[in-house]
Structure 1
Amino acid sequence: MLSTLKREIQVVFERDPAARSVLEVIFCYPGFHAIIHHRIAHFLYCRKLYFLARMVSHINRFLTGIEIHPGARIGQGLFIDHGSGIVIGETAEIGDNVTLYQGVTLGGTGKEKGKRHPTIGNNVTISAGAKVLGAISVGDNVKIGGGSVVLKAVPSGCTVVGVPGRIVVRDGARVENGKIEVDLEHHLLPDPIADTLAAMQAKIDELEQKLARLEREEKDDAGVQYPKQKKRRNIAIGSA
């Protein structure tokens, strides 16, 4: 337990530049509190002390604004940044070195019993407001953009954005000196919809320029193209 506590404190210093002291982490970080409370609740849950486990989980939610079902399986090195509004379901499984931002939901779909929540791999970053729903698996080294709704399995080494979530990058995590670096640049993600709209706007601008050029050429050539027609019209008027 002591080694686990030390590891959870170390994770905060690794991924939050605002952390200044161990005392600050222990007393002022709701994400740290939520994980410690969950470790206790899960311990009770595994020993079939379900009511006590749910009570600890309920107190955890009241104190931190983070709801983690005591049945959820969480690996080492989970970092919850801010954390308000995070929901993790009963059958959810989270690997090692995962980062969750505020408003993330690892939720279920339907009313069926059994496995109904997602399985998250190692070294995954899930940005603010993202929803991962159903008994799907998210591979290792995956980044999920803010506000995305993921409904299908995601292979390892991918970046997912949008509603519903779409894979836009298949690059894996960066590796330096043989150690996987946890990528927290969750704001630097491509947006396929924005890229498509930008391409469409560029095409519209190009077509508008061509149309304006053709209209100018038509006005310049109008007197040259129909001189005889104008003469016939003048003769007809004179005869009348």
Structure 2
Amino acid sequence: MFKGLRETIRAYQERDPAARSGVEIFLLYPGVHATIYHKFAHFLYRHRLFFLARFVSQWSRFWTGIEIHPGATIGRRFVIDHGMGVVIGETAEIGDDVLLYQGVTLGGSGKEKGKRHPTIGNNVMIGSGARVLGSFKVGDNSRIAAGAVVVAEMPPNSTAVGVPAQIVKVAGERVNYTKELDQIHTPDPVSLEIQKLTECTRRLEKAMRELEEKRHEDI
């Protein structure tokens, strides 16, 4: 447990430029507190002490503003930056080295039973206010931009932007969010398509002018 806590504190130090010391992170960061509470709640949940597990998770929510269902599975070095308003559902699964910002929801898309929340791969960053809704996987090394609403599976090494989110594949390159934390300046697939259409229109106009000039020369 203490090894995992040390890893988590180091992860916060690496990912949060405002972090000044491990003591500050341990005592004052709600994301760390929520993770510690969740470990205890998850232990109770696995031993079928559901009421006590929910009591601990609700106590954590009251103190941290972060709601993690005790049934959720969370990997190592999990970081919640700021944290207020984060909601993680019962059947959500989160891999190692995942970074969430405030207002993120890992939720279900309906009232179905069984597995109904997303599975988040390793080394994934989810920007503030993003929603990931449904039982599907977000691949390793992926990024979800702030405010995006993801309702379908994401392949590894990809970026999702928009509402509903669209995928922008990062061809063959691993996304290292610890060095690139920009949630705003992400590729916009709609703008990219508009740029393509604009370029196509320019080429057509150029071809028409050339044909017109050639016709005049022939005359």
User: What's the TM-score once normalised by structure 1's chain length?
Assistant: 0.78
Partner of 1:59: 59
Partner of 1:189: 186
1:32 and 2:29 matched: no
Partner of 2:208: none
Partner of 2:217: none
Answer whether contact 2:118 2:133 (CA < 8 A) is retained: yes
TM superposition shift of 1:28? 1.1
In 2, Cα distance between equivalents of 1:147 and 1:174: 19
Deviating above 3 A after TM superposition, structure 1's stretches of 4 or more consecutive aligned residues are: 180-183, 194-204
TM superposition shift of 1:75? 0.4
* One-letter identity of the residue aligned with 2:129: G
TM superposition shift of 1:15? 0.6
TM superposition shift of 1:181? 5.7
Partner of 2:132: 132
1:74-109 CA-to-partner distances (Å, cap 9, x unmatched) read: 000111000111100000000000000111100012
Q: Percent identity over the alignment?
A: 55
Distance 1:182 1:115, change over 3 A: farther
Structure 2: which 5+ runs fail to align? 203-219
Greater mean alpha carbon deviation, residues 68-77 or residues 2-11: 2-11
1:78 and 2:75 matched: no
Q: Relative CO higher for 1 or 2, CA cutoff 8 Å, sep ≥ 6?
A: 2
TM superposition shift of 1:196? 4.7
* One-letter identity of the residue aligned with 1:42: H
Answer whether contact 1:123 1:182 (CA < 8 A) is retained: no
User: What's the TM-score once normalised by structure 2's chain length?
Assistant: 0.85
Tell which structure's C-alpha radius of gyration is larger.
1
Partner of 1:69: 69
1:157-210 CA-to-partner distances (Å, cap 9, x unmatched) read: 1111011111123333257xxxx9664233331112344556778999x8xxxx
Answer whether contact 2:15 2:178 (CA < 8 A) is retained: no
In 2, Cα distance between equivalents of 1:60 and 1:113: 25
* One-letter identity of the residue aligned with 1:47: H
For the aligned residues, what is the CA RMSD?
2.2
Greater mean alpha carbon deviation, residues 134-143 or residues 161-170: 161-170
